[in-house]
Chains A and B, each alone.
Chain A
């Protein structure tokens, strides 16, 4: 619990490295966490081999949601879309380096949900994407 506000998370929250909106982009998706109003948008550019060349996020919300978005977006650079599709809950928790209860987990996983819904080209983001 005391690790929840590790320096890395506070640092990422205050000074995100990948905040922005790519225009033009190849993939875009956004969604909210209805429980607390967190919002994340992710935009991605890919090359001819479906490899991520650039990615960025916009959003508002708590430190956990914004830091996890920043870390997640960083992690997908130069990954193939197939690799991105395989990212799961544990990957995000490993990036954050913390354990979370069920409520805060939703904050942490919003960006993964948005990312996967975008990469799969889905109309809406389902919780199944992050299980």
Chain B
């Protein structure tokens, strides 16, 4: 299939929205959440109109259908990340919950006081706070792979940290601020050589390029549907079968049990063991439709388009006097451009851009320690996905010149 951004834009109803009369939306905030194609919206709508029922229990037709659709979605998601089996894909609420699942089950069963977990300085709070909580509760140690001036991980420092015998290396595949795509396969290989497991935060990678859990040899991969054209409220955790089987259950309740007696219970088999209570059924179906959509377009084509846009955006932004970009060059990063603009707070930049319908994010993007490292409280962040165009980048640049006019 030939990549045709105009045709793709036609699949996203919200991109026709005018923020104010005559001012079309320029959506440059997909790193926060992506927009949804009609296929996803309709899949969920159709489910509620035609097949809605609870899954796994009923024997009536609707329940059978709902269960089949839910499990088909799991198969699609599993295939998308090249998981050996759909049983290794646990549906969660989002990346955050997926990481917490590992922190509450595997980590609490396997880590004791003084055990080391290695993170990086560029983590989103979702891959930092669960471990800080475990540090408070259990006295585990945390060390961080440093981020260099240009926004890459310092792998020499990582090798040195590995000599301290970590139990787990948990890291982001792609920074949501710097855009840096980390060398996940190498980080994982080195972790394994040191006897540690590796958890990959794939919130920004799975939506934007091919992620193959088997090629990476990842022990865990966490990601969210809403950043990859799917609905909010559903995400996934992939794990190696042996690990998932040995881990204690997470939340207790219906569906996650095989048998229950008043004084004991036996947990269910994978993946249900980790899915207590009625899950987000329609959202899972939407997630499946999102994966279908991305698969049809082709993830190589998505990545290539984003690379083009990002390269162009970095070039254009660099030309603007007063703009300072963060993170590596386009060759080492995904579709993210975080920047500061001389003397103007990022909130003000974002607010003025909003007048022209341009949606960017301002703040620390849930990566406060990273901003502290660079000595800035916040950045403005434009991010790109398969539906963005170079014309939109031009509008962004024009908008920044307007900010300059207003602030003089």
Contact = CB atoms under 8 A, between A and B. Distances in A.
Interface stretch (B107-115, B154-162, B225-233, B347-355): B347-355
A60 B348 CA distance: 13
A4 interface: yes
Nearest to B345: A62
A10 B343 CA distance: 11
A109 B174 CA distance: 35
B352 A36 contact: no
B405 to A, nearest CB: 10
Contact of A62 (B347, B355, B406, B408): B347
B364 interface: yes
Interface in B223-271: none
B407 interface: yes
Contacts of B53: none
Contact of A4 (B345, B351, B368): B351
Interface of B: 344-348, 351-352, 355, 362-364, 368, 371, 377-378, 406-408
A5 B408 CA distance: 12
Given A36-B364, A38-B377, A61-B347, 11 more contacts: A1-B355, A4-B351, A5-B352, A14-B408, A35-B363, A36-B362, A36-B377, A37-B363, A37-B377, A63-B345, A104-B347
A2 interface: yes
B406 A36 contact: no
19 contacts: A4-B351, A5-B351, A10-B406, A10-B407, A36-B346, A36-B362, A36-B363, A36-B364, A36-B377, A36-B378, A37-B371, A37-B378, A60-B377, A61-B347, A61-B377, A62-B347, A62-B348, A64-B348, A104-B351
A60 B343 CA distance: 11
Nearest to A2: B355
A80 to B, nearest CB: 33
A117 interface: no
Nearest to B368: A37
Contacts of B355: 1-2
Contacts of A4: 351
Contacts of B371: 37
A68 to B, nearest CB: 13
Contacts of A35: 363
Interface in A31-84: 35-39, 60-65
A35 B346 CA distance: 12
A5 B347 contact: no
B20 to A, nearest CB: 8
Contacts of A1: 355
A115 interface: no
A10 B351 CA distance: 13
Given A1-B355, A36-B362, A64 B406 contact: no
A102 to B, nearest CB: 13
A107 interface: yes
B351 A61 contact: no
A1 B356 CA distance: 11
Contacts of B406: 5, 10
Contacts of B344: 63
A40 to B, nearest CB: 13
A1 B20 CA distance: 11
B348 A63 contact: yes
Interface string A83-101: 0000000000000000000
Contacts of B368: 37
A14 to B, nearest CB: 8
Nearest to B20: A1
B352 A37 contact: no
B59 to A, nearest CB: 47
B245 to A, nearest CB: 40
A127 B52 CA distance: 41
Interface string A10-41: 10001000000000000000000001111100
A2 B355 CA distance: 8
A10 B345 CA distance: 12
Given A36-B377, A37-B378, A64 B347 contact: yes
A38 B355 CA distance: 22
A19 B106 CA distance: 51
A10 to B, nearest CB: 6
A63 B348 CA distance: 7
